[in-house]
Structure 1
């Protein structure tokens, strides 16, 4: 299967370095016109400047691609809308959005300020929502869109010192799962990338010999698949060091307790059955959980 892009335009946020730069360059190599968005700040979100985005654009143009730089703050609706409008004015449409921008303010929860919490959640979660909102109706009207959120193993499994980051990244998975239901009939497919790669965010956290294996290019290979014409929908693709896997959420069959038996003591009594993974299911919308329990009530299926 050869993955090709014909007359596609992409916006990649946080594309001034690291993963975002790699995503932008790989898409540009395949003929995609790219808006290289980067505020130009440090890893913790302070500072700013257009140089990083401009440098990536220069790289893309030097290799024969098309790109434009944009320094919009992803949390600023007016700036983001202006970025989308500029892309449409220049190239006619926007087909792909890669929500990659992010920052870190790592601290144990006891030492974390709510300002640190708010800023990290704002950039990762709100920023992705703001950018998605800015292209959403345009993609609906055109009947085509490919959107990728960027989550993290911290959001799915937890990581000490990253309660703000983990909460934001987990929120992006939930955002994707709901949004893909709304976009399906318009051929808008939304997926999530969970990268493990060397970047400004991982420098100093791992030994050099490990970091050398965590190439951004291996992650971008997964990203390109998630935004192609034949992309899946509702997938969390994990990528790092040449490894690729999928994260899914499953629900156990559990039990139903009859009226009069619905006590904390009975929950404790049957906890092994509640947690039994035999015949667990992957649900694709929230109503399926309630349907499971209500169907048992109608059939009189209660644990004894």
Structure 2
């Protein structure tokens, strides 16, 4: 048995590899899972008990020798240039890398920010889990307002005063509490409402809200700001209209409609065959909201607006089902590789 060990040791030491094929031959014989050294360990049961210790030590030394020799063969082959081709095969076809793309929602968010930054707005963010003060009370929501009920808001079960924010207006409250006018800020972010998921609605979506507070701010400033936004986001031909509405945190308030970018006024399922699509709400900041944030409503006034980023993205790219944004269908996402 010891003679076999010596024979393998000599074979290992004298082995020469001048190519990858010979190196692989060595690896399979002495290093691989079913190598000749492993066979020696299997024959341990046939060795007399008084010789097992010495035989085991000899086989272990042989195993170490085989591994060290393998590394020397690799180094020698690389030094000689046999490990890799000196010149690549220029006739092989190129490997084209697949580049990722910006998600359409992110592209629209970035465009929002770009448009408003040019007219002096900055960006503010806040927590997605909010307290009752910032999400409702400071925004002039009465205690019995329907938005406080479970059908609209995801409340934290063990604490009814904590909820997933239903709008990014809560960020505007935080800004007004910590900054002094003039204030021009955008509040993009994810919001949550307990709604049925459909082609036009989702329980998780994104909003972009804007706030401007200063001396002498009027509704005319709001209208001109949104006119500017619509022309820049869509096209110079885009029409915009305001419809009187009600929001607890603005007075007067108005819904914002633009001419449908998908059917161009002919009527489709997105505009409900009216030629107009609602993109958000707006209005003059209610004096109570300013006072709640420590801003003197007799000196300062302001306007606010809010839009769904999904709705704007659907109009911008002609997408007719809001659920596509969250299904991660690679076929859908590949359509935006140019973004």
How would you bin the TM-score normalised by the shorter chain?
A: under 0.3
TM-score by length of 1: 0.27
Task: Give 1 or 2 for the bigger CA radius of gyration.
Answer: 2
Greater strand share, structure number? 2
